[in-house]
Each structure stands twice: as C-alpha cells, then as structure tokens.
C-alpha cells in the first residue's frame, strides 16, 4: 500500500475525531493542534489498528507526535 | 504545609537562571488551590487522630464512619491478628533491615508464603513489600524486550508502571472488551512472548472482569495470563480466592497478584503461581531483591489473617448484604452509580464534576462519613467519583446511617 492510500484512509478516520475541524497537514500535532486527550488517543489508535489490521504499541505511539509521522509509521507497517 | 503549595504563579526562572523543575506541576498546584478556595476540606490530607475500630475513627477531630478504607473483612483489629504481630515483634524485633534474598527472610516470611499457598492451593508464593511492588516487579521481569503485554486500559497505576519499567511492547485494549483484546492478540508477530494482564475487580467503578471468556481467549492465543485480585481476595469466590475462582478459570491463570493491605488488613503484596520455574523470580526480580523485607510483626499478623480468611464464610455473606443494601439505597436516593448492580464491595458514586465532588466529599465528612474522592487521571473517562468500600464489620444500622448522611449531603450540595 502506498503512502497516498494510507494517508487517504487515515484522513477518513481522523475526520470522525476532528471535532474542532482542525486543518490536517503533515505537521499537525495530535496533542497540541488537535487537543487529543488520552481517551481520544486510545479510541483513535484502536480505529487505525482495526482499519489496517496492525498493532501500534504504546512504545511506538510515544514516537508519533504529528499526522505525517503517523502516516509514515503506518505505511511502513503495512508494507512489511 | 498547605502554604507551601500555594505558589502557582511563582516565576519559572529562578535566581541565576536555573529552571525550576517543579514548575511543571503548576497546573496541579492551581487546581488544588481552587479546590481549597471553594471552602472544601482538603480531601488529600485527612488525618486519623484515633482509630476506634475497622469502621470508626476520629478524623480531623470528628467521630467518623469509615467507608473508604478497603478494609473489606475488618481484619485490622482482629484479636488473633494483633496478638500474632505483637508476639513476633517481641521475639524478632521491629524490622528486618535487609533484603529477602540476604538477611531479610525470617521464620514468618516463610510462614506467610506457606499461608498463601494454602489459601490459593498453589505451588508457589512470593511476598513483596507492597502490592504496588508485586505488580511492578512481576510484570517488568516477566515481559522483556521483544515480548508483548496486552492489558486493559483501566489497569491500576502499578500495572502501568510495571509495563513502563520493562522493555516489552505495551498494547492496551478498551476496558473489559473481549473482542478488542482478541484482535490485538492475533496481530502480535509469531514467536513473540505474550502476557495478558487483567484485574478481577477494577477498583475505580468496582466492576468485575469477564475473566472466564478473557482467560480462555488469551490461552487460545498462546498468551500467559496475570490477574490482579487485590480487590476480591477474601470474599469473592467459594474460597475467597477471587474473581478467577468464582468464574472457574483459576487453574488457567499463570500468575495471581494480590495485596495484604485490603482484606488481609496489614501491608504487603504477593504473587502466587503454579509455574514450575517460578522460584527463580526471587533472584531476577529487582523490586523484590533491592528493597527491605517487611517487619516480622507484619508477616505474623498477615499469616494469621490469611488463615482466618479461609474460614470467613459468615463475614463474607454480611459484606455482600452490606454491598447490596448500600447500592439499592443510593440508587433509590437518585445517585448515579458506577455499576447497575453491586458487583463487589466497592460502590462508586459518580459526581457531576470535581468541584461538586469535592463539595459533596466535604459535606459527607462534616456529617461524619469518610469516603474516597477519586479524580482523573486515576479514574476512567475523566470521571470524579466518591468511592465507598464496605467492610464486613459495618452493621446494617451503620449502612442505614450512611444512607441518611448521603441524602442530607446530596441535597445540600444539589446533586440529588
């Protein structure tokens, strides 16, 4: 799966969590720009995991701060 | 004491330009300041000046019914438990001054481990200095680099800290969601070690896990299973062994974690297991090795208490009766509770927000009732809770008195 496809599918999921209508770019941060709290993070991560049938462990989540980093990480996971 | 935490607006840069490392807590300091400014008594610095019984104490100068102590079976004042501790202190001294693996294993440390093996009918028992250390030590030692820990998102802090201390991949799933757990287990790469961590009773809402299904799913997916039964020991299950016993899956659980600071009425933590290699944990588990062993008096009191709990059928029945009476009474008064039916000895009353929760807590204390005020991040879904934990020594009349206190305080604060 290429990065553009992953981007498109994550964007569709993120829409449901983007209550404030924040404009999404690669540099958009989940904690800062989108104001995700820990509960939202859990639900969002679970939705991504189910969409791509992958695991994003807490250890990996700690390395992901921005939207672009998430797309990169998922793209790399699904191509493994 | 309280003046020291009233300086939220202290400038970040101190003299000489050094960054104040404590300034990261300014939000918490401000939150606390606001709470106290509202006139509430400080919920986090209550002092028990005198303890009269397992259910009554003089708190902040008032005669108070204790409804938030986890003293489920009321063993703290059991005459046999006290006598055993007194004798051990006289014979073995006040403390051990050493690690369990060096000079800190006395006769009674061995005896309390024997009592645990009898209580659970298991081959091995290992006693830690607290329940927190038992989870910290066992989880961080079992699951290493390349292994996966799959755990409930509402797990206790000691479980999370055990995960953080090890090097395993940590994968949480939605609270009590069997399907979410199974999906994650199935996605773990082949060949990786897997540890599923569950609790019997979740202490915030007092709800019970569907262990029968979860343990079976975990086993079917090749995982080892650890269950924390801190809040169920002594009164859930036919022999008081906990939720895993009640749901018929105790034999399939690899490690049971528990504590002495609840039903047993002392302090300490433990892990029991039938795993044939379990004893090696004593040499490789750092929170077991690098800390002092508990005092002999605590061990002797604990051993006596555990053996008495094996025959606590009548007390158990009364504790359940108390739990049902309080749950039904609070529901009838119009309070929102954490569970639709009483599932344990914990009844959680859901507060609309922290301010009214603190006001309600304070009003109850003025009435002469102590409950736990629990707030985020300890609570799930950002809830503020007044947690009531019942004791087998609460009389039925005391429970009625408690309901009267809740009614008056709830109306005064405007919650019901």
Count: domains in chain A: 1
Domain that holds residue A70: 3-79
Nearest CA to B398 out of B326, B302, B296, B294 is that of: B326
CB contact under 8 A, B188 and A50: no
Cα gap B4→A67, rounded to integer Å: 41
Annotation marks residue B301 as catalytic: no
CB contact under 8 A, B174 and A46: yes
pLDDT over 50 (residue B68):
yes
Annotation marks residue B203 as catalytic: yes
What pLDDT, on the 0 to 100 scale, is given for residue B1? 39
pLDDT over 90 (residue B362):
yes
Of B163, B188, B377, the CB nearest to A55: B188
Using a CB–CB cut-off of 8 Å, the residues of A that contact B are 37-39, 42-43, 46, 49-50, 53-55, 57-60
Residue B34's pLDDT band, with cuts at 50, 70 and 90, is confident
Structural domains of chain B in order of their starting residue, each with its CATH number: 35-73+313-413 (3.90.1150.10), 78-309 (3.40.640.10)
What pLDDT, on the 0 to 100 scale, is given for residue B105? 97
Q: Mind telling me how many Å the CA of A55 is from chain B's nearest CA? A: 6
What number is the ipTM of this complex?
A: 0.93
Interface probe for A, chosen from B143, B170, B189, B383 (most Cβ of A below 10 Å), is B170
CB contact under 8 A, B148 and A53: no
What pLDDT, on the 0 to 100 scale, is given for residue B381? 83
Classify strands B201-202 and B194-199 as parallel, antiparallel or unpaired.
unpaired
What pLDDT, on the 0 to 100 scale, is given for residue B16? 65
Cα gap B187→B184, rounded to integer Å: 5
| Tens of pLDDT, residues B113-163 | 999 999 999 999 999 999 999 999 999 999 999 999 999 999 999 999 999
pLDDT over 60 (residue B12):
no
- Please check whether residue B187 is in contact with residue A55, taking contact to mean a CB–CB distance below 8 angstroms: yes
Annotation marks residue B109 as catalytic: no
- Please check whether residue B114 is in contact with residue B307, taking contact to mean a CB–CB distance below 8 angstroms: no
What pLDDT, on the 0 to 100 scale, is given for residue A38? 83
Cα gap B246→B317, rounded to integer Å: 15
- Mean pLDDT computed over every residue of chain B: 94
Alpha-carbon torsion (B132, B135, B136, B138), positive or negative: positive
Of A42, A50, A53, the CB nearest to B172: A42
Residue B10's pLDDT band, with cuts at 50, 70 and 90, is low
Cis check: omega of the bond before B377, within 30 degrees of 0: yes
Q: Mind telling me how many Å the CA of A43 is from chain B's nearest CA? A: 8
pLDDT over 50 (residue B343):
yes
**Cβ neighbours for B196, distance < 8 A, ≥ 6 positions apart:** B149, B150, B151, B181, B185, B214, B218, B223, B224, B225, B226
> B231-257 as b/e, with b when 16 or more CB fall inside 10 Å?
bbbbbbbebbbbbbbbbebbeebbbbb
Cα gap B201→B389, rounded to integer Å: 12
Of B170, B173, B180, the CB nearest to A59: B170
Residue B31's pLDDT band, with cuts at 50, 70 and 90, is confident
Among left, alpha and beta (phi > 0; psi -120 to 50; other), residue B17 is left
The CATH number of whichever domain residue A30 belongs to comes to 1.10.1200.10
Kindly state the average pLDDT of the residues A21-27: 94
- Give SS3 for A18: coil
Catalytic: which of B158, B203, B344, B362?
B203
Catalytic: which of B124, B239, B262, B327?
B262
- Please check whether residue B324 is in contact with residue B344, taking contact to mean a CB–CB distance below 8 angstroms: no
């Amino acid at each position: 799966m290429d990065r553009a496809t992953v981007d498109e599918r994550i964007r569709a999921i993120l829409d449901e969590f983007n209550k404030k209508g924040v404009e999404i770019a690669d540099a958009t941060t989940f904690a800062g720009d989108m104001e995700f709290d820990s509960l939202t993070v859990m639900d969002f991560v679970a939705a991504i995991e189910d969409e791509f049938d992958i695991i994003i462990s807490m250890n990996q989540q700690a390395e992901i701060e921005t939207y672009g980093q998430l797309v990169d990480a998922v793209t790399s996971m699904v191509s493994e | 004491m309280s003046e020291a935490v009233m300086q939220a607006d202290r400038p970040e840069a101190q003299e000489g330009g050094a960054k104040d490392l404590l300034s990261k807590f300014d939000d918490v300091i401000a939150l606390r300041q606001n709470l106290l400014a509202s006139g509430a008594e400080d919920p986090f610095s209550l002092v028990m000046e005198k303890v009269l019984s397992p259910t009554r104490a003089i708190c902040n100068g008032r005669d108070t019914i204790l409804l938030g102590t986890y003293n489920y079976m009321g063993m703290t004042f059991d005459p046999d438990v006290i006598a055993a501790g007194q004798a051990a202190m006289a014979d073995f001294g006040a403390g051990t001054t050493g690690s369990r693996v060096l000079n800190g294993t006395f006769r009674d440390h061995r005896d309390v481990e024997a009592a645990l093996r009898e209580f659970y009918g298991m081959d091995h028992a290992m006693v830690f200095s607290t329940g927190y250390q038992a989870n910290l030590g066992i989880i961080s030692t079992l699951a290493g680099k390349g292994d996966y820990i799959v755990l409930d998102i509402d797990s206790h802090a000691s479980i999370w800290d055990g995960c953080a201390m090890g090097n395993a991949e940590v994968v949480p799933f939605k609270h009590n969601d069997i399907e979410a757990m199974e999906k994650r287990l199935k996605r773990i790469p082949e060949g990786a070690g897997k540890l599923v961590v569950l609790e019997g009773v979740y202490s915030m809402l007092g709800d019970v896990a569907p262990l029968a299904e979860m343990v079976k799913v975990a086993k079917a997916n090749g995982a080892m299973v650890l269950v924390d039964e801190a809040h169920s020991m002594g009164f859930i299950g036919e022999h008081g062994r906990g939720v895993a016993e009640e749901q018929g899956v105790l034999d399939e659980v690899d490690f049971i974690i528990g504590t002495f600071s609840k039903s047993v009425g002392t302090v300490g933590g433990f892990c029991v297991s039938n795993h044939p290699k379990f004893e090696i944990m004593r040499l490789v588990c750092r929170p077991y090795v690098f800390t002092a062993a508990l005092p002999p008096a605590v061990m002797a009191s604990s051993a006596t208490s555990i053996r008495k709990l094996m025959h606590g059928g009548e007390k158990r029945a009364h504790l359940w009766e108390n739990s049902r009476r309080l749950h039904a009474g609070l529901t009838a008064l119009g309070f929102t509770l954490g569970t639709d039916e009483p599932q344990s000895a914990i009844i959680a009353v859901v507060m609309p927000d922290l301010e009214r929760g603190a006001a309600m807590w304070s009003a109850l204390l003025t009435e002469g009732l102590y409950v736990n005020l629990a707030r985020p991040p300890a609570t799930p879904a950002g809830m503020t809770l007044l947690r009531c934990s019942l004791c087998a020594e609460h009389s039925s009349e005391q429970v009625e008195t408690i309901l009267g206190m809740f009614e008056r305080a709830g109306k005064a604060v405007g919650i019901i």
